[in-house]
Copies of this chain bind each other. A is one copy, B any other.
Amino acid sequence: MAIGIGLLGLGTVGAGVAQILASPEGRHPLVRELVLRRVAVRDLNRPRPIELDAALLSTDAAAVVADPAVEIVVEVMGGLEPARSLILAAIAAGKPVVTANKAVIARHGAEIAAAAAEKGVYVLMEAAVGGGIPILEPLKQSLGANRIERVSGIINGTTNYILSRMAEEGASYEAVLADAQALGYAEADPAADVQGGDAADKIAILAGLAYGGLVDRQAIPTEGIDQLQTRDIDYARELGFSVKLLAVAQRQGSDADGTEVLDVRVHPTLLPKDHPLAGVNGVNNAILVEGEPVGRVMFYGPGAGAGPTASAVVADILNIAAIRQVAGPSAQLDPLLAAGSWRRCRLVDSDLTQHRNYVRFQAADLPGVIGHIGSCFGAEEVSLQSIVQFESEGPGAEIVVITHAVEEARFRRALGAILARPEVEAITSCLRTL
């Protein structure tokens, strides 16, 4: 029973998908049933990594979506528009959609999910998070028995590559970024990666699936690695930590009306060396899911690349094709695979969250300064794991504090009190710690 596929985009991921469909031998036999019917491209004459019959190509993406021979629409063009409109057009035509586009899902997820639920079609996006790592399908299809306590992950390969090299080589952020751009690991405009926006898109998707409700992507507190100094990575290592750009979605409790309250955030984070995510290096991604009763499970693998991403895109197509074999195109949706919202979620007021912190102070090298800093924290009942004075390169002292878990508002008040002391010159960095 052949199933017609319409591909929107023939860049590296699109070509990877076409490559899989063109070589079904040795893959699951269902791959043979997937037939590429039309491919939307921007420029008909561009050279491509895969040879396709020219008659398949079209510059009219809307016509590909509308083509009656196209039964599943695969959006791998990226960007917000026209991707959003094409996805909505496919849904309106009753066609299931597979997308690798985290930006459009994170920003227009509510609109797309509502349209999909109304028409009863699947919109699947395994490739949007973690590249080739199976993570969305396991969250939906293998962890539903659990109450999810926390999802935390290294879900941006570019920043993990940069941080890994900064840690290994002691090189500066700027130097490694320039090199990563030259090698093609970072884009010419790296803002979405290095400022954390890409990771925030992805944790919004993960949180939505883990907790069964949409979260407000724009309200996720997001901090990137573009202000991070190599010195903090070095100090962290001396204290027994790795520094990673972590995306976290954590349950905080629930409101009286049952709304789930979540702490969702993206920021550079110190991880104890023996934490399962601490050893994830280079462009690899990993996602740790903690739930009751499963405990901790981790999913690890290549977070990007044509092959891994195409593997995830075709997985989604196969899931839709398999369900269609069972139930025909017009049946009710599989509640696990479709993963509709089943409760309301909201983000917590960040003043009320509790975190461990790493703070570096620049201070006058005077006797008693460590004591003063300790006393200011003590006055706000912020309990400390360590205060260490490091060798400063310039005049004065560099003092690094790691706190135990403390309410954010209390921690901020203590920092204010410390900054008001004449011997403390500046807070030179402030990072979260697991």
Contacts and interface: CB of A to CB of B under 8 A. Distances in A.
Interface in A280-322: 291-302, 305-308, 310-312, 314-315, 318-319, 322
Interface stretch (A48-56, A334-342, A425-433): A334-342
A27 interface: yes
Given A28-B144, A28-B212, A299-B299, A326 B334 contact: yes
Nearest to A302: B295
A272 interface: no
A28 B294 CA distance: 14
Given A141-B141, A142-B134, A144-B318, A307 B292 contact: yes
B334 A143 contact: no
A296 B134 CA distance: 11
Given A334-B323, A336-B322, A144 B27 contact: yes
B307 A296 contact: no
Contact of A307 (B293, B305, B318): B293
B301 A297 contact: yes
Contacts of A312: 142, 294
A258 to B, nearest CB: 9
A263 interface: no
B141 A30 contact: no
Contacts of A325: 332, 334-335
Contact of A146 (B30, B143, B311): B311
Contact of A326 (B19, B279, B333): B333
A230 to B, nearest CB: 23
A27 B145 contact: yes
Contacts of A296: 301-302
A307 B134 CA distance: 22
A298 B310 CA distance: 18
A16 interface: yes
B143 A311 contact: yes
Given A294-B302, A310-B293, A326-B332, A315 B28 contact: no
Interface in A36-82: none
A306 B279 contact: no
A9 interface: no
Interface string A385-408: 000000000000000000000000
Interface in A335-377: 335-337, 342
A323 B327 CA distance: 9
Which are the 7 A-B pairs with shortest beta-carbon distances? A293-B307, A134-B142, A28-B144, A297-B301, A145-B314, A294-B311, A134-B138
27 contacts: A19-B293, A29-B335, A30-B336, A134-B143, A134-B297, A137-B137, A137-B141, A138-B138, A141-B319, A144-B314, A144-B315, A145-B315, A279-B279, A291-B311, A293-B310, A296-B301, A296-B302, A297-B299, A298-B301, A300-B300, A318-B336, A322-B336, A325-B334, A326-B327, A326-B332, A326-B333, A326-B334
Interface of A: 16, 19-20, 26-31, 126, 132-134, 137-138, 141-147, 212, 276, 279, 291-302, 305-308, 310-312, 314-315, 318-319, 322-323, 325-327, 331-337, 342
